[in-house]
Amino acid sequence: MKTSKPATPGRRFRGLDSRQRQQQRREQLIEAGLQAFGTKGYHNAGVREICGEAKLTERYFYESFANREALFLAVYAHAIETVRNAVVLALGRSDRDVRSLARTAIRVFLETLRDDPRLSRILLIDALTVSADVGRQSQLATQSFAELVGSLILSLYPQLPKRHVDAQLIANGLVGSTVYLVMHWAANGFDQPLERILEHCVLFYDAAGAQAERMTAG
Amino acid sequence: MKTSKPATPGRRFRGLDSRQRQQQRREQLIEAGLQAFGTKGYHNAGVREICGEAKLTERYFYESFANREALFLAVYAHAIETVRNAVVLALGRSDRDVRSLARTAIRVFLETLRDDPRLSRILLIDALTVSADVGRQSQLATQSFAELVGSLILSLYPQLPKRHVDAQLIANGLVGSTVYLVMHWAANGFDQPLERILEHCVLFYDAAGAQAERMTAG
DNA sequence: TACATTTGACAACACTTCATGTCAACATTG
DNA sequence: CAATGTTGACATGAAGTGTTGTCAAATGTA
């Protein structure tokens, strides 16, 4: 790098020192990446376009990111953080009973993606095809979520006959049904009311729960 | 085009007339596309590499396809045909009872994708990000499949309270759970035995069916 | 054998993108 | 104001890709 940052705060400019300005530029780029990737898709958004969107020049792009993939990774992390924050925030002021906890979690999930459709493109579609590296990363993320669901199932139905049924696989299937319903919802422009989608999402969780109960009994 | 095909069968070469040779080259290209797209992904497989894989030169590529996307479309159609054929063939010699029909269908689906992992990459991942056009096409395909499942549900539970439950949405969720389980299975190298995955797939169909029954009763 | 057609290897061109570099204009401090 | 850090617009080169064209060798036909 030619422009190696000094350790000092640097001269102030527009009320901000150099570190703050760089941070601000980085955030502009992430927002621009969210916009570009989230609307046109990763493979149809070039560095030039992203910089135009961010109102910054290419030089500042490479100041913060080694390449386009690195930016996507940051955008992806940002997107997943957005969703996660919304969910845990809502869970904080929700009931304690597990069923309504799950329901609010899913509702907030749906709300967040509907309110910013770019997120769904980033999280559910592009993340799989950007690169092998990003693909693994995204798999780990959804996997950790599925594991949460899995442990929830196990805590609710500890007697599950493990020889025949794997709570982890059930959790995966549940995540899949939810994700797929969201994808379909988004693909059709979020035309149906959120409540309707939500009801069908939880329907699967209820159905799986009932099935689990049936199997622990029999 | 300079090489405009004559309507006549043309001279014989290597025992085949021109039309047969062209057909054969086309199939070589589709097979090569299946290999390249299915292993490295659409966005990481160039025309040159595909031609190398097919042992043909670029000229013959553009003889059969206008561009890379056109080839992908053909590969996609081929892949979906492969799966469809396997499923309907198996259904032909299966029982009539609906549950075992569904089970064999899913089993053959799983077998086909396990025996050729390239198919799952093409059908489940790449199809979404190649282009808006291909994306729509793939959505239509899975949608038509979901509609089949949906009509099946309706025929089994005609009393479903339509005001609150949409058989189509349930079908979508079921497709999603299956697809997701397969993706996860494939991503981990098909390590778990097929029967185990199959059991968990049908578990969701059973669970949804039981739930539907519960709702028609109540 | 002589000739036409088909083929394969590869050159060539246009085009795009990434990534870095140049330089004048601007803002800030002393 | 002068000096210097900072920015934006744009040039540039390297590399890859898609697409068309050239040409000699191989393969068929008369």
- What per-residue string of b and e applies to B32-42 under the rule 16 or more CB within 10 Å gives b? bbbbbbbeebb
- Length B10 CA → C1 C1' (Å): 24
pTM: 0.92
Beta bridge partners, A60, equal none
How many of the other CB atoms lie within 10 Å of CB of A1? 6
Contact B106, B85 (CB under 8 A): no
What pLDDT is recorded for position A11?
75
**Which two structure tokens, joined as six digits, stand for B35?**
């290999």
- Length A5 CA → D2 C1' (Å): 26
| Residue whose structure tokens are 């569904």 | B102
In tens digits, chain B (218 residues) has pLDDT values of 333 444 456 678 778 888 889 999 999 999 999 999 999 999 999 999 999 999 999 999 999 999 999 999 999 999 999 999 999 999 988 777 888 999 999 999 999 999 999 999 999 999 999 999 999 999 999 999 999 999 989 999 999 998 889 999 999 999 999 999 999 999 999 999 999 999 999 999 999 999 999 988 76
pLDDT-wise least confident of A90-104, A187-201, B106-120, B197-211: A90-104
Query: Residue A132: CB partners within 8 Å, gap ≥ 6?
Result: none
If DSSP codes are grouped into helix, strand and coil, which group holds residue B182? helix
Cβ distance of A164 and B199 shorter than 8 Å: yes
Phi-psi region of A78 (alpha: psi -120 to 50; beta: other; left: phi over 0): alpha
- Length B3 CA → C1 C1' (Å): 29
Instruction: Choose among A84, A83, A106, A103: nearest CA to A95.
Output: A103
CB-closest option in A43, A172, A180 to B184:
A172
Phi-psi region of B190 (alpha: psi -120 to 50; beta: other; left: phi over 0): left
What pLDDT is recorded for position B13?
78
What are the C-alpha distances in Å from B156 to residues A203, B150, B203? 18, 10, 17
CB-closest option in A42, A200, A211 to B166:
A200
If DSSP codes are grouped into helix, strand and coil, which group holds residue B139? helix
- Which chain B residue shows the shortest CA-CA distance from A181? B173
Residues of A in contact with B166 (CB under 8 A): 196, 200
The model's pLDDT over A107-134, given as tens digits with 9 standing for 90+, comes to: 999 999 999 999 999 999 999 999 999 9
Cβ distance of B42 and A129 shorter than 8 Å: yes
d(CA B38, CA A111): 35
B45 shares contact with chain A (CB less than 8 Å)? no
B133 shares contact with chain A (CB less than 8 Å)? no
What pLDDT is recorded for position B3?
39
Contact A129, A42 (CB under 8 A): yes
What pLDDT is recorded for position A98?
87
Query: Residue B132: CB partners within 8 Å, gap ≥ 6?
Result: none
More confident residue, B7 or A33: A33
What pLDDT is recorded for position B96?
79
Beta bridge partners, A16, equal A13
What pLDDT is recorded for position B179?
97
**Which two structure tokens, joined as six digits, stand for A134?**
């990003």
Give the confidence band of A218 by pLDDT, cuts at 50, 70, 90: low
d(CA B137, CA B60): 26
Query: Residue B93: CB partners within 8 Å, gap ≥ 6?
Result: none
- Which chain B residue shows the shortest CA-CA distance from A39? B132
More confident residue, A192 or A96: A192
d(CA A208, CA A211): 5
d(CA B70, CA B76): 10
Q: Residues A189-205: what's their mean pLDDT?
A: 97
d(CA A178, CA A205): 9
d(CA A108, CA A90): 7
Q: Residues A177-187: what's their mean pLDDT?
A: 97
The DSSP secondary structure of chain A, one letter per residue, reads --SPPPSS----BTTB-HHHHHHHHHHHHHHHHHHHHHHH-GGG--HHHHHHHHT--HHHHHHH-SSHHHHHHHHHHHHHHHHHHHHHHHHHTS-SSHHHHHHHHHHHHHHHHHH-HHHHIIIIIGGGTS-HHHHHHHHHHHHHHHHHHHHHHHHH-TT--TTT--HHHHHHHHHHHHHHHHHHHHHTTT-S-HHHHHHHHHHHHHHHHHHHHHHHH-
If DSSP codes are grouped into helix, strand and coil, which group holds residue B166? coil
